[in-house]
Amino acid sequence: MTLTTKLSQSKFYQEDIVQRVDDPSRSGVVVRCWHNSHEIPIPEHLQQQDPLLRPLKPDEVGVSFFSSQDREISHESEFKLIDRPFQTGDVCKRHVEDVQSGVVKSVDVRFKAAHVISNEKVEGWLSKDDIEDTDELVIGSIVIFDDWVGQVQNIFDEMVVELGSGGFVRVPEMTSRLTVGDRGADILPPPAPGQNHFMPGVTPSESDTVVAIKHSVIAVCWMAVNQKLTSEAAAGRQRPQRFWNENEQSKLTLVRDLDEKVVRVGHKISLRKAPFVTRHGEANSRKGQILVDTFNVIETQTSVTVLWQDGSTEVVDSKELLPHVNPDEYDCWPGDHVMWKNEDAKQPAIVQKVNAKQRTAELLLYDGKVELVPVLELDVHGSDAILETPHDSFGARVGDLVFIHADGSTNGFEKPMVPVIGELEAWAYEAPVQEETGEYSGWRKDLNVMGTSLAQDVPPRIDSFGKAKLNGDLSIHWFGEVLDLQLNGLIDVKLPNQQIVSVPLERLSRLNDGLDQLEDVWGDGFDDSLDDEMDEDDKAEILGFQTEDGEWHEYDPDDEGDWEDDEDEAASEADVKMDTDDDISAPNPDLKTQSPTSQEASSGSDDVGSRPTSSVSSEPTSVDESESKDEAEPCKRFDILPSAPVDHAFYTSTSVDPSRQFMSRLSKEYKALTTSLPDSIIVQTYEDRTDLLRCLIIGPENTPYEDAPFVIDWMLDSNFPQSPPIAHFHSWTNGNGRVNPNLYEEGKVCLSILGTWAGDRSESWSAARSSLLQAFVSIQGLVLVKEPWFCEPAYEKLRGTAGGRVNSRLYSEKAYVLSRGFVRRALEIPMGGLEEIINDIYYTKGRLQQVISKSNALIAKSREAEGKDLEDDDSDLAVPHLTAGGVLALSRTMTKLEQTHSAHQQTTK
């Protein structure tokens, strides 16, 4: 069996519940998978400390077992899938090769349970109806008080531990690390001054068991106020207190989510009718007796209700579905609010259904009209949202927590944009610990002091330990969770009292998740936890680089190239003038974009085609020999113009005062550009702004970008060459998505040599071994490639897999269609300084006619083959065929290009 075939049959995903084939008594949860694993390499001695840390091979999974807590990496064939958990709002597929996906509308789990202490099993299968409603608070819980919405940031717990030697001890701590039924010698923390135990001098044992927990104090960050209040009323609602003790918590209203009763293996629950309990302590003693009615979920069977893109709804066994881990940027589902961006206007609409295979969508416009459009013309998420509020996006999703604005008012945004509101208070961002002492700092220290103080009070009866009953306020009608999206545009929202209301989109605002805000600042915690275990040698090993054979080497900062500036070299006006007879070789390190494996560039076939860019020749590139002898001389590949054009992205920036070193280096850069630029790259700089450049790159042959113009503006700051050049890409996609994973719509160019992608140090900009020429050819050779989808981080490893092929094909079609629009944009609104060059390339040399002919041929071929299986057709072509949606979108562009071509011919007759 080939590697490609094996990879296409990947069986498991993270959070899958699996069972060992050779030992059915051992079941566990998948915590790592090769296909979605993209961690940094871990030093070998750390791998030995945790068997799950070593690099995964294809078809391997990392599993954590439930009963023994063992962790191992094994081949997928050694496991059997028991259950596949989903949550409401998750996206799924039936098969990896499918292009149609669905959204999980609801989840139903039946399960088996056993008592957390006695391990006695409850007979038969249980359902959500058997679960007792609780007011259990966890970190991240959403609560309401006095018209304010807040999120629990941390909890100080007080636990009752039954000792293996007999008796009880109270354990107060701010970690939330323990649950009822946990057992072991690590239950009791090391003795600490002032800690209040029922029995002093206890000795930890493997039989120590947690029998009760209460949340002594919780810390709540209040993020936003009721949006139905008038501005005067809202101003009168003072932000509630930060800390809430166990008696005050009853004033809070817990917002229950749709998945509140969706259980997974390992969850601990209470049952409405507990068939048995365990008793701890003496009923008549002064300390009281604890009854434990908590049960472990030990087995699950999940079914989900799925809304497919074609509008059908189906109840499916979750094991028959796959998580859609790499959704297409145009994926949308019935009820979604999107923006249709065509040649004429931008129109908001509601998706009625999607033909994923043909990449078309039926839309209901806000004026009541129904249109069939290509998904390539849809902005699904709000890609041109205000950059200062990047979380604002189109519409709402099932599971979103939303504020409901008053009748007659709106969220202040134009449909279909929905704002995200709710900011964490400043205290939430305080560092967790003091770097000097390692002790809690800021509000965590206050919470710890408050919780410890309460624990030192006169010990209560142990049977008083239990869950606080929160306020069941049923009058809250201004906040809830999105339950469903109607095809007429209304949004169904479930209120805290379980009532369902239908609300127009413009009356909703989404709640910003506070934990996500913290993750943006502190990260996901992985790097921090790893740093704690690594010394400087470990870190140096991770900050190394990887060779093509997969071997990692420590980065050597002394390994530099030959571009060192001679600081004593005088820079003058003459230094900047070009001497085309000078021959200077350009350095050529192995540069990479986001993808860890560089890709070969395609070879061009004419004077503005491409050529391999992994090496840069010091000789000028000749014009295609097949070109007519009497044709005009090609435009200069490098030129210095008198003044910078006003449409340059950095035109309004402050011009640098060039230093002698700056001008000396610039002279060398100019010489390299004069002699070594490929035919398909044209660079211009300016006498009045030596810190600015503009380059035009023509897309390489047999890539989705062939024949298309890509314009990037550059600025050299005063620290150049010590700092890399700054790039701005002119994206002409009309807000319909990126044309390449590394080229952002707002202008960012993601490339390691530019410092905009965290590649290996050896790939980063270096004044000694990097050059402008390298930056230009890297974009052509490592970004504008045949299969651009694999430029995304961690996608390179999916090359050859079924899922990788599907996603790459869809992305390449999108890139091809959008880049045809670049041709039109360059001709209709030529960039300053490039007017003659664009005319020469597309009119004089006939490239426009070539673009039209190739595209029309592809359209005709795709129409003839509609309905046939063309997965392997002309597999060597970057874009062998188009979907119906691709044909529709490209046809519209071709109509405009043909009109442009015809108009030019008329004017030149």
Q: Find out whether 614 and 600 touch, Cβ atoms under 8 Å.
A: yes
Tell me the longest C-alpha to C-alpha distance in the chain: 110
Cα–Cα distances in angstroms (integers) from residue 523 to residues 219, 439, 443, 516, 520, in the given order: 21, 21, 20, 9, 6
Cα separation, 742 vs 712, whole angstroms? 13
Non-local CB neighbours of 903 within 8 Å, separated by 6+ positions = none
Long-range contacts of 417-420 (CB under 8 A, 24+ apart): 417/382, 417/385, 417/392, 417/393, 418/392, 418/393, 418/394, 418/505, 418/508, 418/509, 418/510, 419/389, 419/392, 419/509, 419/510, 420/389, 420/391, 420/392, 420/393, 420/509, 420/510, 420/511, 420/512
CA distance 714 to 888: 35
Token duo for residue 488 = 């007429």
CB 749 within 8 A of CB 756: yes
Q: Determine the distance from the C-alpha atom of residue 237 to the mean position of all C-alpha atoms in its chain, rounded to a whole number.
A: 36
Q: Is the dihedral of CA 309, 315, 321, 325 positive or negative?
A: positive
CA distance 96 to 806: 8
Residue 24 CA, distance from chain mean position: 36
Cβ atoms < 10 Å from Cβ of 807: 23
Which residue, 484, 474, 479, is CA-closest to 510? 479
Tokens encoding 10: 């990947």
Is residue 197 helix, strand or coil?
A: coil
Whole-number Å distance between alpha carbons of 555 and 546: 10
CA atoms within 13 A on the CB side of 626: 5
Quote the tokens at residue 404. Answer: 């409901």
Give residue 902's Cα distance to chain centre: 44
Q: CA distances (Å), 328 to each of 75, 214, 674, 886, in order? A: 29, 45, 41, 14
Reference 290, options 470, 177, 179, 168; nearest CA is: 168
3-class secondary structure, 733? coil
Distance of CA 595 to the CA centre of its chain: 15
How far is the C-alpha of 683 from the C-alpha of 833, rounded, in Å?
10
Q: Using an 8 Å Cβ cutoff, are 643 and 688 in contact?
A: yes
The token duo for 215 is 């949340």
And the tokens for 780? 């052509």
Omega before 416 within 30 of 0, i.e. cis: yes
Whether residue 750 lies in the annotated active site: yes
Distance in angstroms between the alpha carbons of the first and the last residue of the chain:
62
User: What is the distance between the alpha carbons of residues 817 and 575, in angstroms, rounded to a whole number?
Assistant: 44
The neighbour count for residue 414, using CB atoms within 10 Å, is 9
CB of 788 within 8 A of CB of 812?
Answer: yes
Q: How far apart are CA 677 and CA 481, in angstroms?
A: 57
Taken as a whole, the chain contains a residue count of 909
Give the H/E segment covering residue 660.
Answer: helix 660-676
**Annotated catalytic residue: which of 92, 332, 635, 750?**
750
Residues 6 or more apart in contact with residue 800 via CB below 8 angstroms: 3, 4, 7
| Interatomic CA distance for residues 339 and 354, integer angstroms | 15
Q: How many other β-carbons are positioned within 10 Å of the β-carbon of residue 538?
A: 17
Q: Which residue in the block uniquely carries the two structure tokens 């426009």?
A: 848
Place of tokens 């024949």: 707
Active site residue ranges: 750
